[in-house]
């Protein structure tokens, strides 16, 4: 870890609502401010629950939990922001935590992150964007008159993010008697999208932003995630998960060694020319039915279409597909499954739903929570995709490539994106980076993207996880040392693998051992260069 700046201690008596003034925030009407002292708190935070970091063991930490509520003028909303303030070990910095799914923050994952952050001496901040503890938008997306609740959507998309930055800095400054020296944002998925939104729309909110596996191009990738379900309904094909998993496993087996290492990971998706149709007729043991089945031509075609990505009815490109080693069915670490089917013992299967996408289509685009998506035509699919972009791209698309103001203010941003991400196609992040680079060829000076082979959505899988992402960002911001690579270590594999992640568009290349398929444990960080 980067060494902390210690000495930021305050009296426990400072943790009082009478001692902490309300912040000044445009268009905000503050409702309440509560301050509660939490003494000698301990909790072990395992790897994966402190986004962009490694594991942290929080021991006997005392902090002040400040919770504010406020509403926006003209909005029928109530937003809560939490600011946790270490009593004895403040390191002079603030770290804001991003959300997940349809939650802006203030959820269980965020709480784990805030706990780890105060353990490391950060003032920690999170907002619920007025959504409370709602996990899905079913209870807030539509108003009684059937219109979309644009106020809450805008709070989730952007407004609450800058609010949290202003509030967090103000409360921190009041509590310690001096402003934080550095401010950071850390998030993945929705939290990654939020980080990109801050760089685009509120470029002076944070000095450093860790925005991993970002849910940018919101409308496009959600339509892309619905594409597999649409295909199943259109083809009337609902394969068991065993069949889909067998196709994925065959793709990995075929393309695994192309980088010289046999580690169960496809390092270069472009170099993997595996065709799922080559498996038609292959006999597999299907655990769904407890018997052997043959891989069907329909299942192989379905998977090939999912890999190719969503297309309009005229065959033109709509959005990127998932990588060939991304799990499409069966259990996954985060239960994000774009080809969800459930099967009965008699050998018949039906499809489930990818709820994040279907909620967006039903509630926000069609404005009908009971809409039947199983019967839509390809032309209707096109219309829904176009309507989503027209209505919401300016609100939550988060794909504006102009980061000139963020750059001018000295901001730094790092993203990693798992190449086996089963929910957000990694090529979407590359597409955005290319767009930023087209406007500013010096993008590498302030924003770096690190593709992570074999890594699932944010965490997990056969690939290596860069638990030093945030530390690399902090070193870049505070010492001016840009990360030329990120060291990453696998969490779910035996043996553990160590890999060097390279900043896009460079790729990790094995040196000194070329031409031989080495085992996963036979190579280490230093066996790679970025070219």
- Which residue in 163, 225, 421, 527 is the catalytic one? 421
Cβ–Cβ < 8 Å for 328, 337: yes
DSSP for 334-385 reads T---SS-EEE-TTS-EEE---HHHHHIIIIIIS--TT---TT--HHHHHHHH
Structure token pair of residue 193: 């999208």
Phi, psi of 196 (to 5 degrees): -65, -40
Sheet holding 464-465, edge to edge: 464-465, 486-490, 498-501
Residue 113: CB partners within 8 Å, gap ≥ 6?
Answer: 45, 49, 50, 51, 97, 124, 126, 186
* Rounded Cα–Cα distance for residues 57 and 146 (Å): 47
Contacts of 367 (CB under 8 A, 6+ apart): 142, 146, 147, 148
SS3 assignment for 421-479: CCCCCHHHHHHHHHHHHHHCCCHHHCEEEEEECCECCCCCECCEECCCHHHHHHHHHHH
The Cα-based distances of 221 to 39, 307, 453, 462, 525 in angstroms read 44, 13, 20, 23, 32
Secondary structure class of 406 (helix, strand, coil): helix
Collapse the DSSP code of 193 into the 3-class scheme (helix H, G, I; strand E, B; otherwise coil) and give the result. Answer: helix
Helix H or strand E encompassing 292: strand 291-294
Q: How many other C-beta atoms can be found within 10 angstroms of the C-beta atom of residue 234?
A: 16
Sequence-ordered list of residues with C-beta below 8 angstroms from that of 192, at least 6 positions apart, any chain:
98, 211, 212, 213, 214, 215, 216, 415
Is-contact 295 247, C-beta < 8 A? yes
**Active site includes 421?**
yes
121 sits in the region (left: phi over 0; alpha: psi -120 to 50; else beta) called: left
User: Are 180 and 464 spatial neighbours (Cβ–Cβ below 8 Å)?
Assistant: no
69 tagged catalytic: no
| Tokens standing for residue 364 | 């926000």
Tokens describing residue 259: 């980088």
Among 522, 80, 526, 18, smallest CA distance to 261 is for: 522
Cβ 308 vs Cβ 321: under 8 Å: yes
Direct distance between the N- and C-terminal alpha carbons of the chain, in angstroms, rounded to an integer: 27
- Asked if residue 453 lies in contact with residue 499, where contact means CB atoms within 8 angstroms, the answer is yes
Catalytic residue, chosen from 332, 457, 471, 490, is: 457
**C-alpha 393 chain-centroid distance:** 18
Active site residue 417: no
Identified catalytic residue from 126, 158, 170, 189: 189
Question: In this structure, are residues 300 and 248 in contact, taking their beta carbons and an 8 Å threshold?
Answer: no
- What is the set of active-site residues? 189, 421, 457
């Amino acid at each position: 870890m980067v060494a902390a700046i210690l000495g930021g201690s305050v009296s426990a008596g400072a943790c009082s609502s009478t001692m902490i003034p309300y912040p000044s925030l445009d268009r905000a009407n503050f409702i309440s401010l509560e301050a509660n002292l939490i003494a000698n708190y301990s909790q072990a935070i395992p790897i994966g629950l402190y986004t962009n970091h490694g594991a942290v063991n929080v021991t006997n930490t005392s902090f002040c939990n400040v919770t504010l509520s406020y509403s926006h003028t003209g909005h029928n909303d109530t937003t809560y922001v939490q600011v946790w303030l270490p009593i004895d070990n403040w390191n002079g910095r603030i770290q804001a935590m991003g959300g997940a799914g349809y939650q802006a923050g203030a959820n269980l994952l965020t709480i784990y992150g805030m706990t780890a952050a105060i353990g490391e001496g950060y003032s920690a901040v999170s907002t619920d964007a007025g959504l409370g503890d709602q996990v899905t938008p079913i209870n807030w997306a539509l108003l009684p008159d059937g219109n979309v609740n644009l106020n809450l959507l805008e709070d989730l998309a952007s407004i609450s993010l800058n609010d949290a930055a202003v509030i967090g800095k103000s409360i921190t400054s009041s509590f310690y008697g001096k402003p934080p020296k550095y401010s950071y944002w850390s998030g993945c998925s929705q939290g990654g999208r939020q980080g990109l939104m801050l760089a685009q729309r509120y470029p002076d909110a944070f000095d450093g932003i860790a925005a991993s596996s970002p849910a940018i191009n919101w409308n496009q990738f959600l339509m892309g995630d619905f594409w597999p379900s649409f295909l199943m309904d259109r083809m009337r094909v609902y394969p068991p998960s065993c069949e889909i998993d067998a196709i994925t496993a065959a793709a990995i087996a075929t393309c695994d060694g192309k980088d010289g290492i046999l580690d169960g990971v496809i390092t270069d998706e472009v170099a993997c020319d595996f065709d799922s149709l080559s498996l038609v007729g292959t006999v597999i043991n299907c655990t769904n039915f407890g018997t052997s089945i043959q891989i069907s031509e329909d299942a192989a075609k379905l998977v090939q279409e999912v890999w190719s990505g969503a297309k309009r009815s005229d065959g033109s490109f709509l959005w990127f597909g998932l990588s060939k080693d991304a799990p499409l069915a069966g259990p996954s670490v985060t239960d994000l499954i774009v080809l969800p089917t459930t099967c009965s013992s008699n050998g018949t299967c039906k499809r489930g739903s990818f709820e994040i996408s279907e909620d967006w289509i039903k509630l926000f685009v069609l404005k009908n929570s009971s809409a039947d998506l199983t019967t839509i035509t390809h032309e209707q699919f096109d219309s829904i995709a176009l309507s989503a972009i027209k209505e919401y791209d300016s609100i939550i698309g988060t794909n504006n490539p102009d980061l000139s103001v963020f750059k001018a203010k000295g901001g730094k941003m790092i993203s990693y994106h798992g190449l086996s991400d089963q929910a957000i196609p990694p090529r979407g992040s590359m597409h955005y980076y290319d767009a930023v680079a087209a406007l500013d060829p010096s993008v590498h000076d302030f924003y770096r993207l690190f593709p992570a082979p074999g890594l699932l959505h944010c965490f997990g899988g056969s690939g290596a996880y860069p638990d030093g992402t945030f530390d690399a960002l902090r070193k870049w911001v505070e010492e001016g040392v840009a990360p030329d690579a990120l060291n990453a270590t696998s969490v779910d594999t035996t043996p553990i693998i160590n890999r060097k992640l390279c900043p896009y568009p460079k790729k990790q290349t094995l040196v000194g051992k070329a031409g031989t398929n080495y085992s996963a444990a036979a190579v280490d960080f230093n066996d790679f260069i970025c070219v």
